[in-house]
Chains A and B, each alone.
Chain A
Amino acid sequence: MSLFLAELKLTLRSRIAAAALFLLFLLAALAVWSGISLSDRQNAAIERVQAAHAQDLAAVARVYGQPDGDAGYGAYYTFYLTWDRPSPLAFAAIGQRDIQPFTLRVRTLGLHSQLYESENINAELALPGPFDWAFVLIYLAPLAVLVLLHDLVAGEREAGRLRLLLSLPGARGLWARRLGARYLLVLAALALPLVLGLMLTQAPLTLGAGSLLVAALYLAFWSGLGLLVAALVRSSGGGAATLLGCWIVLTLVAPTLATSAINSAIPAARGTDLSLAQREIVHAAWDKPKEETFDAFFVNHPEWRDTPPVTGRFHWKWYYAFHQVGDEAVAPQVAEYRASLAARERWTERVGWLLPTVSTQVLLHRLADTDLQAHLAYQDSIAALHRRIRYFYYPYVFEERPFTAADFERLPDYQPRPSGGSLAWGSLIALGLAALALLALSLRRAHRVEMVQPTATSRPGRGFLSKPAFT
């Protein structure tokens, strides 16, 4: 153990290694700070929106909450606010939270003409991607590993220490110890700021531990790769270039190629289709016999079948019925749309089985609950609210009961979805296997470093006899 400490100290005394580690620590700390600031901003925005919405709601209640108030108007003018707070771990992996809406208002009209509204974002700011801990882990930490490991063996060889080191009896575990020391240093530089952030945001222990586990495995993968390359290459320059090549492929080239392939193979145009189709159905209802609308509506809502029939040109019950029929009619398109998004997620996870960068991204954002799946869960919670408000108004509208100020007090509340961070087991196993396989392979290869020493030390030509001048 104390030998391990000696390796830790030795690494830290190298100026370039210490600089790389410090920089990584600094950037991770900055990223954590920046992530927390974004979470705070979103929470503050939610509070602002809640305040604005409360005012708006009060104004609506004043106008439509009369003793003889018509529920149809109340429902039409009353918006319901939904919001999706960042999970306690969101600061570490912001994911799509910078481009997905986190507040949305819905009312009793057709859900699918309201659900896909987007938020005001500055797209140019969103374009490069968020600066968060996950970014530091996925992109920058491998580069720190590269700096620390690329010349692990070649550096000793180039400095001329390799044979001396290998002649010592304890040399067998040398590479493993050095790898371990450097691995732990990189992990510590990343983990420390994260742990601080976790304490600040009081994230559940399991989520924090999960993200540390992911970081540990991801770094183990890169460390294994680093040692393997270090044990194989002849020069430190070659080691740096090879590892950099791996980094470029794994973080830049392969994921972009895969995204391009997935998004062309699985188009998500159904979103547009369902919007267009729903509008047609809803607006055609104005010109159709009301019975048609009601027949369709009563299929799923038989409890209102026996309410008074509509005789005039307009009645709110008919209006809300055809909005609901519009939603129900596009259910197949909605399902297809959701299926296409799910398929994109599924294929991304499969790509992650091959690319540790992608599986790490999948894992972290699933834990932080900030991925597409999280947004779909938010949409589901909006749909649940929409259903509850419909059923809240239906008795008033169908039974033509007055909707008064007292009823405004009884509006259904939005139930925010529970924070849904979870562990993507498939990706975790894939990442773990990749890390283990590379570590095992690289350690085996590193063991053979000592056996491959003999003729590499060719010396510059020299005479057989060197006759010193002083004789």
Chain B
Amino acid sequence: MSGATVRIAREEWRWLARSRVALVAGVLLLLLIITATFTSVQKHEAIDEARARYQSEQIEQFYNQPDRHPHRMVHYGQYVFRPLAPLAFFDTGVDAYTGNMVFLEGHRQNSANFAEARQSSLMLRFGQLTPAFVLQTLAPLLIIFLAFRALAGERERGTLRLMLAQGISARQIVSGKLIAHAAVAGAIVLPALLALTIMSASSGASAQALLIILGYCAYLIVWTLMALVLSALVPRARDALLALVALWMVTVVLLPRGLPELVAASQTLPTRIETEVAIGRDLKAIGDSHDPDDPYFNDFKMEVLARYGVSDVQDLPVQYAGLVAMEGERLTSDLFNRYAADANAREDRQNALVRTFGLASPLIAVRQLSMTLAGTDLDNHQDFLSQVESYRYSFVQHLNRMQAEQIPAVNPGEDPRIDASNWLEVPGFAYVAPNPLAYAGGRIAQSFGILAAWLAGLACLLILAARRLERIAR
């Protein structure tokens, strides 16, 4: 790096420091990031605390239920609350749009309810104040504001000719400006870096935090390069500003909204009711346990009788109805899983399509990266739902087994119950937060790949633009 390059970078900083507009805009953005971080951390802690409290209260209540028939407990059910990922404060992702409370009961699959976006006024759709929102949406604008004059301004004033006449190459000038503005981009990421470091230290998500920072650095440098390329190509500073804002508009506001609309139109998701009806129909097609002539359940009965070596249901050491309940639960749960897998696959196809189109917008790549690493993307939610479903299945089967084994098969009385101490044997829901690096490694690599492609492409363009600058300014 030549002395001239460093000197040009230093001059650019001096100019920024002396420009009141740049200073005010920079300080405002900094304040905004700090406010976003603080409020987001606070909100995160409040939500986390509330969900943890609800979760422990509800399991307490479950364990404190009186002596009952196990099937009553199957429908008393359990509430499960989704814990927030430790880095969710940084990027809340889809958390406000997915419900966070699921009611689990036998042979029904309820939805996750009380999503914040459904309980808020429409103003929420303007965006949520998180560090990720500031870095994704507003930071590029600051970079544009500070950098649009960098080369077009020199050209407009005629100082570019002056510098070239003194034997400084356009490449030196451009690298100087790049160093100056890349440093500004770094300064923007710094508060977020601090917050992420502090918050991730206690949660052991340092690798994710590091990758998030890396992703945002790449994203902001993409914008720095974009600003400099246009500033070098356009003869007037104002035109550079307008062109950059137009680019920002398209890549940050328009494409992220327009693409999902296209994708949603091309790939329909079945509604809950359709799925419920379809599952009901499939279930009936397999067999009806109430029908004494049903082939499926007759086979099941034969198999059970053979397993216990008896010839009549009356002679079974267990309650046959309990076994039928277990078999029914197994069948429904299979269907739930099959339909959920289908719905997830459809959603994944939609999102993959957005990501592919996302080549056109670095925002889509960094947003995906940020959500995935923060543990707030849709896959993470789907994983939560599938953990919830498998827990639902195991807890319902636990109770069904109690029914089969502890409720007398003959003459159980009018109101058979089992001891309340049994409830304690049902394990509580233990959510295992998935590690994004393990389950979404490919997607993370893909996002980084897209950002790297943008970086490389823009770097080439900047080199070409520098050459052109040298040609036309002479």
Chain A residues with a Cβ under 8 A of chain B: 16, 27, 30, 34, 37-38, 41, 45, 48-49, 52-53, 55-56, 59, 81, 95-96, 99-101, 103-105, 113, 116-131, 135, 139-140, 143, 147, 151, 235-237, 240-241, 244-245, 248, 251-253, 255-260, 262-264, 268-269, 271-272, 275-276, 279-280, 283, 286-287, 312-313, 340-341, 344-345, 347-348, 351, 357-358, 361-362, 365, 371-372, 375
Contact A52 B269 (CB under 8 A): no
- With A99-B97, A130-B261, A143-B249 known as contacts, the answer to whether A120 contacts B120 (CB < 8 A) is no
- With A116-B113, A120-B271, A122-B351 known as contacts, the answer to whether A276 contacts B122 (CB < 8 A) is no
A-B pairs with beta carbons under 8 Å apart, 21 shown: A37-B261, A49-B273, A53-B273, A118-B115, A119-B111, A120-B269, A122-B347, A122-B378, A124-B371, A126-B94, A131-B257, A245-B25, A253-B32, A263-B120, A268-B114, A268-B119, A268-B120, A271-B119, A283-B75, A341-B119, A362-B122
How many chain B residues touch the partner (CB < 8 A)?
95
**What distance in Å separates the Cβ of B214 from its nearest Cβ neighbour in chain A?**
22
Contact A124 B118 (CB under 8 A): no
**What distance in Å separates the Cβ of A385 from its nearest Cβ neighbour in chain B?**
15
B268 within 8 A of partner (CB) = yes
Contact B354 A361 (CB under 8 A): no
Give a binary string over B35-65; 1 marks a CB under 8 Å from any A CB, 0 the rest.
1000100110010001000100110010001
**What distance in Å separates the Cβ of B341 from its nearest Cβ neighbour in chain A?**
13
Q: Which of B113, B257, B273, B377 contacts A275 (CB 8 A)?
A: B113
B447 within 8 A of partner (CB) = no
Contact A262 B126 (CB under 8 A): no
B66 within 8 A of partner (CB) = yes
Contact B129 A124 (CB under 8 A): no
Contact B123 A41 (CB under 8 A): no
Within 8 A of A (CB), among B132-186: 133, 137-138, 141, 145
Nearest B residue to A98 by beta-carbon distance? B264
Contact B113 A313 (CB under 8 A): no
Q: Which of B50, B66, B263, B269 contacts A269 (CB 8 A)?
A: B50
Chain B CB within 10 A, most for which of A122, A140, A255, A372: A122
CA distance A353 to B269 in the complex (A): 38
Besides the contacts A96-B117, A268-B120, what 18 more A-B pairs have beta carbons closer than 8 Å?
A: A16-B242, A34-B261, A99-B97, A113-B103, A117-B272, A119-B272, A122-B347, A124-B377, A131-B261, A147-B242, A244-B145, A264-B46, A271-B114, A286-B68, A313-B415, A340-B119, A344-B120, A348-B122
Contact A256 B238 (CB under 8 A): no
CA distance A38 to B257 in the complex (A): 14
CA distance A362 to B122 in the complex (A): 8
Contact A99 B117 (CB under 8 A): yes
Q: Which residues of B contact A129 (CB under 8 A)?
A: 125-126, 257
Contact B97 A135 (CB under 8 A): no
B397 within 8 A of partner (CB) = no
Q: Which of B35, B76, B112, B121 contacts A262 (CB 8 A)?
A: B121
CA distance A101 to B265 in the complex (A): 18
Q: Which of B68, B242, B276 contacts A240 (CB 8 A)?
A: B242
Q: Which of B54, B66, B125, B260 contacts A276 (CB 8 A)?
A: B54
Nearest B residue to A341 by beta-carbon distance? B119
Within 8 A of A (CB), among B91-126: 93-94, 97-99, 101, 103, 110-126
Contact A52 B119 (CB under 8 A): no
CA distance A324 to B113 in the complex (A): 22
Contact B126 A252 (CB under 8 A): yes
B309 within 8 A of partner (CB) = no
Contact B241 A241 (CB under 8 A): yes
Contact B238 A236 (CB under 8 A): yes
- With A56-B280, A260-B39 known as contacts, the answer to whether A313 contacts B414 (CB < 8 A) is yes
CA distance A123 to B120 in the complex (A): 16
Contact A52 B278 (CB under 8 A): yes
Contact B271 A49 (CB under 8 A): yes
Nearest B residue to A116 by beta-carbon distance? B113
Contact A237 B265 (CB under 8 A): no
- With A130-B257, A252-B137 known as contacts, the answer to whether A117 contacts B111 (CB < 8 A) is yes
Chain B CB within 10 A, most for which of A37, A49, A53: A49
Q: Which residues of B contact A34 (CB under 8 A)?
A: 258, 261-262, 265
B198 within 8 A of partner (CB) = no
- With A237-B238, A264-B39 known as contacts, the answer to whether A345 contacts B121 (CB < 8 A) is yes
Chain B CB within 10 A, most for which of A52, A104, A113, A143: A52
Contact A41 B268 (CB under 8 A): yes
Contact A122 B277 (CB under 8 A): no
- With A38-B261, A41-B268, A140-B249 known as contacts, the answer to whether A259 contacts B120 (CB < 8 A) is yes
Contact A99 B118 (CB under 8 A): yes
Q: Which of A27, A45, A105, A124 contacts B378 (CB 8 A)?
A: A124
**What distance in Å separates the Cβ of B33 from its nearest Cβ neighbour in chain A?**
12
Q: Is the interface of B mostly helix, strand, loop or mixed?
A: helix
CA distance A16 to B431 in the complex (A): 56
B350 within 8 A of partner (CB) = yes
**What distance in Å separates the Cβ of A79 from its nearest Cβ neighbour in chain B?**
8
Contact B97 A259 (CB under 8 A): no
Q: Which residues of B contact A117 (CB under 8 A)?
A: 110-111, 113, 272
Nearest A residue to B72 by beta-carbon distance? A286
Contact B124 A263 (CB under 8 A): yes
Contact B122 A361 (CB under 8 A): yes
Contact B76 A279 (CB under 8 A): yes
Contact B274 A275 (CB under 8 A): no
Chain B CB within 10 A, most for which of A101, A237, A345, A357: A237
CA distance A264 to B46 in the complex (A): 10
**What distance in Å separates the Cβ of A81 from its nearest Cβ neighbour in chain B?**
7
CA distance A286 to B254 in the complex (A): 55
B206 within 8 A of partner (CB) = no
CA distance A255 to B263 in the complex (A): 28
Top-3 shortest CB links A-B:
A255-B126, A348-B121, A123-B94
Q: Which residues of B contact A38 (CB under 8 A)?
A: 261, 264-265
Q: Which residues of B contact A312 (CB under 8 A)?
A: 414
Nearest B residue to A102 by beta-carbon distance? B271
Q: Which residues of B contact A372 (CB under 8 A)?
A: 119-122
Q: Which of B61, B97, B253, B277 contacts A52 (CB 8 A)?
A: B277
- With A128-B257, A139-B253, A283-B72 known as contacts, the answer to whether A95 contacts B122 (CB < 8 A) is yes
Q: Which of B127, B138, B377 contacts A255 (CB 8 A)?
A: B127
B222 within 8 A of partner (CB) = no
Contact B114 A116 (CB under 8 A): yes
CA distance A139 to B39 in the complex (A): 25
**What distance in Å separates the Cβ of B25 from its nearest Cβ neighbour in chain A?**
8
Contact B272 A275 (CB under 8 A): no
CA distance A237 to B25 in the complex (A): 16
B13 within 8 A of partner (CB) = no
Q: Which residues of A contact B414 (CB under 8 A)?
A: 312-313
- With A128-B260, A262-B123, A275-B79 known as contacts, the answer to whether A105 contacts B273 (CB < 8 A) is yes
Q: Which residues of A contact B277 (CB under 8 A)?
A: 52-53, 55-56
Q: Which residues of A contact B25 (CB under 8 A)?
A: 245
**What distance in Å separates the Cβ of A269 from its nearest Cβ neighbour in chain B?**
7
Contact A240 B129 (CB under 8 A): no
Q: Which of B43, B61, B242 contacts A264 (CB 8 A)?
A: B43
CA distance A147 to B145 in the complex (A): 16
Within 8 A of A (CB), among B371-412: 371, 377-378, 381
Nearest B residue to A365 by beta-carbon distance? B122
Nearest A residue to B237 by beta-carbon distance? A237
Q: Which residues of B contact A269 (CB under 8 A)?
A: 50
**What distance in Å separates the Cβ of B20 from its nearest Cβ neighbour in chain A?**
12
B270 within 8 A of partner (CB) = yes
B245 within 8 A of partner (CB) = yes
Chain B CB within 10 A, most for which of A126, A128, A362: A128
**What distance in Å separates the Cβ of A213 from its nearest Cβ neighbour in chain B?**
19
Nearest B residue to A60 by beta-carbon distance? B280
Q: Which residues of B contact A122 (CB under 8 A)?
A: 260, 264, 269, 347, 350-351, 378
CA distance A236 to B239 in the complex (A): 10
B26 within 8 A of partner (CB) = no
